[in-house]
Amino acid sequence: MSAASTLDLLKATGTIVVADSGEIDKIKAYKPQDSTTNPSLLNTAARLPEYKHLVDDALAYVRGSGVTDKHERMELLLDKLSANFGTEILKHVPGYVSTEVDARLSFDTQRSVTRARRIMKLYEEQGVGRDRVLIKLASTWEGIQAAKVLEAEGIHCNMTLLFGFAQAVAAADAGATLISPFVGRILDWYKKNTGKEYSGAEDPGVTSVTRIYNHYKAHGYKTIVMGASFRNTGEILELAGCDRLTISPALLEKLSGMTDAVPSKLTPEAARSAAGTSPAVHFDEAAFRWELNEDPMATEKLAEGIRNFAADLVKLETFLDGLLAGATA
């Protein structure tokens, strides 16, 4: 009998593995519990010939919608395409798929809520229930308030672009179903700004997620912690035992080819025993904005992440606009 792979051993710690990909073939290969997409992944996947039928269906939906305003048509096309990819992904994962609200609405609570409701409606039209979808929102104050509204309606949310402790606390207080702290991007910032190399438990992305996980478990928060944006397998293994980890296909492949032991690094029991080191704390809007302001890493990476997702949305829109124009010519 061959030795269990490191990926299998990671799953055995209780960590749910999530595929960070919009490509269905890669999701099939690694059999994750959940899957998550973002504008960058969708921009890539929408151009691949094997997913042309999903794009064509979204185009046909918009043509038959009766919407005539060019801007509104594109918004509907983006949401329909997102729901089409998500619905296809759900044929191959037993759990959640995460679908992102337009990053350009990251500072607009009401418009984020409106788009999220429509995305969920587009899923429901394809027979997908609310128990299978997470709506992704940037972890701005406005995004967190949108999540509060949506969660009260039974629409579950995944708070993305999360880099700081204040973001994590506010998201949990809002009742968000899940948060996605970006481990690798935190590491990138510290390496760039300190000139140092980090590894193992000293990796600042690892320490950030460990702090959040321990705080949640110590104080009874139900919000799921899903580490994201990994740069290497070492970061992943240092977070073994975390609720969920969303991992790129390249790193899933590496873990599948490894046979390293995977001890649990995070456990609810250890977090609760250390509760006194992480006192309960809450943030109103002013306190949240101040704490974020005082964390240059979180401030800069949040802004950069929103800009980058917005830029990929513009690229995707340009691609789709050409198809839409061709379809209506």
- Bridge partners (DSSP) of residue 245 are 17, 227
Looking at every residue in the chain, the average pLDDT score rounds to: 94
Query: Which residue in 80, 136, 217, 265 is the catalytic one?
Result: 136
Give yes or no for residue 148 having a pLDDT over 90.
Answer: yes
| 117 vs 100: CA distance, rounded Å | 12
Q: What is the pLDDT of residue 22?
A: 75
Give yes or no for residue 209 having a pLDDT over 50.
Answer: yes
Contacts 24+ apart (CB under 8 A), 319-325: 319/43, 319/46, 319/47, 320/46, 320/55, 320/59, 320/74, 320/77, 320/78, 320/81, 321/74, 323/55, 323/59, 324/59, 324/62, 324/73, 324/74, 324/77
Residue type at 200 in one-letter notation: G
149-199 tens-digit pLDDT = 999 999 999 999 999 999 999 999 999 999 999 999 999 999 999 999 999
Give yes or no for residue 38 having a pLDDT over 90.
Answer: no
Q: What is the pLDDT of residue 86?
A: 95
The CATH architecture assigned to 6-328 reads: Alpha-Beta Barrel (3.20)
Section 21-27 average pLDDT: 81
Match 């899940």 to its residue by tokens.
Answer: 178
Q: What is the pLDDT of residue 329?
A: 45
| 287 vs 118: CA distance, rounded Å | 32
Select from 151, 111, 155 the least CA-distant residue to 133.
155
User: Hey, what are 196's tokens?
Assistant: 């140092």
Q: What is the pLDDT of residue 275?
A: 63
| 4 vs 97: CA distance, rounded Å | 27
Q: What is the pLDDT of residue 224?
A: 97
Specify whether the CB–CB gap between 38 and 160 falls below 8 A: yes
Select from 206, 248, 236 the least CA-distant residue to 35.
248
257-314 tens-digit pLDDT = 999 999 999 999 999 887 666 789 999 999 999 999 999 999 999 999 999 999 999 9
pLDDT band with cut points at 50, 70 and 90 for residue 1: low
Specify whether the CB–CB gap between 265 and 10 falls below 8 A: no
Give yes or no for residue 251 having a pLDDT over 50.
Answer: yes
136 as an active site residue: the answer is yes
The backbone torsions φ and ψ at residue 36, rounded to the nearest 5 degrees and listed phi first, read: -135, 145
What's the CA dihedral at 299, 305, 306, 308 to 10 degrees?
140
| 223 vs 169: CA distance, rounded Å | 10
Give yes or no for residue 11 having a pLDDT over 90.
Answer: yes
Q: What is the pLDDT of residue 327?
A: 59
Q: Give Cβ neighbours of residue 319 (< 8 Å, ≥ 6 apart).
A: 43, 46, 47
Tally of CB atoms within 10 A around 285: 12
Give yes or no for residue 328 having a pLDDT over 70.
Answer: no
Section 200-207 average pLDDT: 96
Give yes or no for residue 37 having a pLDDT over 70.
Answer: yes
Give yes or no for residue 51 having a pLDDT over 90.
Answer: yes
Tally of CB atoms within 10 A around 36: 28
Specify whether the CB–CB gap between 198 and 172 falls below 8 A: no
Give yes or no for residue 140 having a pLDDT over 80.
Answer: yes
Section 209-216 average pLDDT: 96
- pTM value is 0.93
